[in-house]
Amino acid sequence: MNIINYLSTIAVPMVILLIITYGVIEKNKVYDTFIEGAKEGMQVVVNIFPTLVGIFLAVGALRSSGLIELIINIIKPIIETLRIPAEIMPLALLRPISGSASMAVATDIISKNGVDSLIGLIASTIMGSTETTLYTIALYTSAVGIKKIRFVLIAALIADITGMLISVAICRFLS
């Protein structure tokens, strides 16, 4: 376990060092390129900030309305049987719909339960092992003109459910 901690500690500095070394070897202006990228990054932040605020508000309104809790209460016998913590169900319900909304919910879950708690680990694992299915399908199928997405949608949602169930099982096993 110590070697993993050591590798994770040096990973980012090593990547930065590799990028700088490659830039020097290729005779690129590394610092100027970095500054240009930082400017573009700040512009991206400015552009998506209103959307993020809107999504945070929408998720807050959805959660305050009680609709998510109603769905969770309906499926509670199933999630209790599968030993899935009810606290992660808002994330499980929103993850296939919106990456930003699920990020807001995951942030909320982690801030309430802690990063190293079982629920925090499950939420983090779900975020890394599932996809924003509806968005992705809409984007890629419309790009190539596919109209019938029923089987793709079913397969993708089964993959999301599998990813969520396996996330819970692995986190429970490793805890």
Residues 113-167 pLDDT 10s:
998 999 999 999 999 989 888 777 776 776 677 888 888 889 999 999 999 999 9
Q: What is the largest CA-CA distance in the chain?
A: 63
Confidence of residue 52 (pLDDT cuts 50, 70, 90): low
Taking Cα atoms as reference points, which of 75, 114, 92 lies closest to residue 165?
A: 92
Domain ranges in the chain?
A: 1-65, 85-175
pTM of structure: 0.63
Phi and psi torsions of 130, nearest 5°: -130, 170
Residue 72, Cβ neighbours under 10 Å: how many?
A: 16
* pLDDT tens sequence across 66-121: 888 888 899 999 999 989 999 999 899 889 887 878 888 899 999 999 989 999 99
What pLDDT shows up at residue 78? 92
* pLDDT tens sequence across 4-37: 888 888 999 999 999 989 988 988 888 888 899 8
What pLDDT shows up at residue 49? 76
What pLDDT shows up at residue 47? 73
**HSE of 91 in the Cβ direction (CA atoms, 13 Å)?**
31
What pLDDT shows up at residue 139? 67
